[in-house]
């Protein structure tokens, strides 16, 4: 790294704030460009694939989208094989799910994309084990970042304090040529920047008020009922309740129920199962009645889309970057967070490795912004239509209207048309650009008649067409 990031020479020391997926993967990339990398983490890392307090959504449903799978494999070769060996279920879409959307049941045609649905602690542990095995990367645990060292022209380190210490506890400075904020949704970096005389980024916010609750259940396979691996009731502006049942391995399933503000799913056992009856079909409620609870009910409420515009011009220092949820966080219902963390690390790798351009702070930050933009457009575009949504990015541009009309037709057809559905799922899983929806065969299907989904649940896979 040179120029603004490395102050005209090879970076000696890079510090990453946050030891979650985004931070670990950023550290993996930075190790190729710095003499040493330090990951600062508030928690103590668990020995195995266990949940930790610093990942507030860790006990809830996580899926690894295809775009994230491709990115992780490029960063950590062999990763997907290791994930499979650990028993993470692989779910094909649409063939492996009984799925309700837009008033009908999606046809279970052969899979065009796959999701890994194992637990978040399992996946993070595997990444952490791979990344921290690199001798160039060290971790400082049980320690929180409380500020930045430097001034408005350049960050020169990070201020640290032992976790759990009182405000009178002495802070120390960890000097660095580059500081990367990967501290998550609750990042304090805007305040830290203001504290050294720099300009905090403008925040874009869009909030549907989504709230959800999750519980683990055990269930035996039910070959007499279905060959599906899970169930998914997708909410929409007319039907705001959601429910999903997905396997996480060893006969265990995560069940998540969701609703909007003022009507959140409860976190007591009886209330949770009663809430499932609000879904437009009893399929999830009936599954719960046959399954065995295996955990308490956990709730989560902080689900707004928030994006910090570090990419815009402003009085900001060289030597500071933001990535992961510290840069952009999305409504978790779309399952994008882990994929975007991996895609952002790929963007960081490519920006730093570009021999044709100097990797200045602003240029690299722009690359990180671009890596998260596609996911933001998907989640923001869908959430704007939900009732009661609030925020400062609600308006549509005139140029968006033709695209909205076309995407509306896509959403009317993907449940029953395999051609449209295949392209739509590739886009939603961040493995193909939105232009895939305009490929000739998809375009013809979108402008043609609607092929309806099913009126009743699709309990069995459809045979492949000859």
How much is the average pLDDT of 354-359? 85
Percent of the chain with pLDDT strictly greater than 70: 96
Architecture of domain 3-62+123-205+303-381: 3-Layer(bba) Sandwich (3.50)
Q: What is the pLDDT of residue 359?
A: 86
How much is the average pLDDT of 5-31? 86
Q: What is the pLDDT of residue 411?
A: 94
Q: What is the pLDDT of residue 464?
A: 86
Q: Assign 380 a pLDDT band (cuts: 50, 70, 90).
A: very high
pLDDT surpasses 50 at 267: yes
Q: Assign 465 a pLDDT band (cuts: 50, 70, 90).
A: confident
Q: Assign 3 a pLDDT band (cuts: 50, 70, 90).
A: very low
Q: Assign 204 a pLDDT band (cuts: 50, 70, 90).
A: very high
Q: What is the pLDDT of residue 399?
A: 65
Q: What is the pLDDT of residue 466?
A: 63
pLDDT surpasses 70 at 2: no
pLDDT surpasses 70 at 41: yes
**C-alpha distances in Å from residue 2, one per residue of 10, 175, 319, 332, 357:** 6, 18, 10, 36, 10
pLDDT surpasses 50 at 401: yes
Q: What is the pLDDT of residue 56?
A: 73
Span 404-429, pLDDT tens digits: 899 999 999 999 999 999 999 999 99
With beta carbons less than 8 A apart as the criterion, state whether 74 and 51 touch.
no
pLDDT surpasses 80 at 74: yes
pLDDT surpasses 70 at 9: no
- Indicate the average pLDDT of the chain: 94
How much is the average pLDDT of 375-379? 95
pLDDT surpasses 80 at 141: yes
Token pair recorded at residue 77: 């070769």
Span 274-328, pLDDT tens digits: 999 999 999 999 999 999 999 999 999 989 999 999 999 999 999 999 999 999 9
Q: Assign 1 a pLDDT band (cuts: 50, 70, 90).
A: very low
Q: How many residues does the chain have?
A: 466
Q: Assign 7 a pLDDT band (cuts: 50, 70, 90).
A: very low
Span 176-185, pLDDT tens digits: 999 999 999 9
pLDDT surpasses 60 at 167: no
Q: What is the pLDDT of residue 164?
A: 76
The secondary structure of the chain, three-state, reads: CCHHHHCCCCEEEEEEECCCHHHHHHHHHHCCCEEEEEEECCCCCCCCCCCCCCCCCCCCCCCECHHHHHHHHHHCCCHHHHHHHCCCCEEEECCCEEEEECCEECCCCCCCEEEECCCHHHHHHHHHHHHHCCCCEEEECCEEEEEEEECCCEEEEEEEEECCCCCCCCCEEEECCEEEECCCCCCCHHHHHHHCCCCCCCEEEEECCCEEEEEEEECCCCCCCCCCCEEEECCCCCCCCEEEEEEEECCEEEEEEEECCCCCCCCCHHHHHHHHHHCCCCHHHHHHHHCEECCCCEEECCCCEEEECCCCCCCCCECEEECHHHCEECCHHHCCHHHHHHHHHHHHHHHHCCCCCCCCHHHHHHHHHHHHHHHHHHHHHHHCCCCCCEECCCCCCCCHHHHHHHHHHHHHHCCCCHHHHHHHHHHHCCCCCHHHHHCHHHHHHHHCCCCCCECCCCCCCCCCCC
How much is the average pLDDT of 353-369? 92
How much is the average pLDDT of 386-403? 84
Give dist(CA 28, CA 25) in Å, integer. 5
> Which of 83-92, 162-171, 387-396, 434-443 shows the lowest mean pLDDT across its residues?
162-171
Percent of the chain with pLDDT strictly greater than 90: 87
Q: Half-sphere exposure of residue 426, counting CA atoms within 13 Å on the CB side? A: 16
Q: What is the pLDDT of residue 409?
A: 95
How much is the average pLDDT of 236-258? 96
Give dist(CA 347, CA 312) in Å, integer. 18
Q: What is the CATH number of domain 210-300?
A: 3.30.70.2450
With beta carbons less than 8 A apart as the criterion, state whether 36 and 42 touch.
no
Domain ranges of the chain: 3-62+123-205+303-381, 210-300
Q: What is the pLDDT of residue 116?
A: 97
């Amino acid at each position: 790294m040179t120029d603004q990031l490395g102050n005209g020479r090879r970076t000696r020391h890079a510090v990453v704030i946050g030891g979650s997926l985004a931070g670990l993967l950023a550290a993996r990339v930075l190790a190729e460009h710095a003499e040493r990398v330090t990951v600062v983490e508030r928690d103590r890392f668990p020995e195995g694939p266990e949940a930790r307090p610093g990942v507030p959504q860790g006990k809830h449903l996580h899926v690894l989208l295809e775009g994230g799978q491709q990115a992780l494999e490029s960063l950590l070769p062999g990763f997907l094989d290791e994930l499979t060996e650990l028993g993470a279920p692989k779910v094909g879409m649409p063939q492996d799910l009984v799925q309700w959307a837009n008033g009908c049941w999606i046809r279970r045609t052969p899979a065009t994309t796959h999701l890994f649905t194992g637990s978040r602690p399992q996946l993070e542990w595997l990444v952490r084990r791979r990344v921290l095995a690199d001798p160039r990367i060290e971790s400082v645990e049980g320690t929180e970042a409380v500020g930045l060292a430097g001034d408005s022209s350049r960050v020169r380190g990070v201020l640290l304090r032992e976790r759990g210490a009182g405000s009178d506890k002495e802070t120390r400075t960890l000097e660095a040529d580059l500081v990367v904020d990967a501290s998550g949704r609750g990042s304090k970096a805007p305040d830290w920047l203001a504290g050294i005389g720099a300009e905090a980024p403008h925040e874009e916010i869009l909030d549907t008020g989504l709230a959800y609750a999750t519980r683990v259940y055990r269930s035996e396979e039910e070959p007499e009922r279905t060959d599906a691996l899970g169930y998914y009731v997708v909410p929409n502006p007319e039907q705001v309740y959601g429910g999903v049942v997905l396997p996480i391995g060893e006969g265990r399933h995560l069940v998540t129920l969701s609703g909007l503000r003022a009507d959140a799913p409860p976190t007591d056992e009886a209330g949770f199962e009663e809430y499932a009856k609000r879904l437009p079909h009893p399929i999830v409620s009936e599954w719960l009645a046959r399954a065995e609870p295996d955990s308490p009910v956990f709730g989560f409420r902080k689900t707004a889309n928030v994006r910090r515009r570090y990419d815009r011009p402003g009085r900001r220092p060289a030597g500071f970057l933001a990535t992961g949820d510290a840069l952009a966080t999305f409504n978790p219902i779309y399952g994008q967070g882990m994929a975007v963390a991996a895609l952002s690390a790929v963007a960081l790798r490519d920006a730093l490795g570009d021999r044709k351009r100097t990797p200045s702070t602003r240029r690299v930050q722009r690359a990180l912004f671009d890596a998260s933009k596609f996911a933001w457009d998907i989640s923001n575009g869908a959430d704007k239509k939900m009732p009661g949504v609030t925020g400062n990015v609600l308006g549509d541009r005139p140029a968006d209207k033709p695209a909205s009309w076309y995407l509306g037709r896509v959403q009317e057809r993907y449940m029953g048309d395999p051609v449209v559905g295949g392209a739509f799922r590739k886009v939603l899983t961040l493995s193909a650009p939105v232009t895939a929806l305009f490929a000739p065969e998809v375009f013809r299907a979108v402008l043609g008649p609607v092929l309806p989904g099913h009126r009743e649940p699709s309990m069995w896979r459809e045979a492949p067409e000859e």
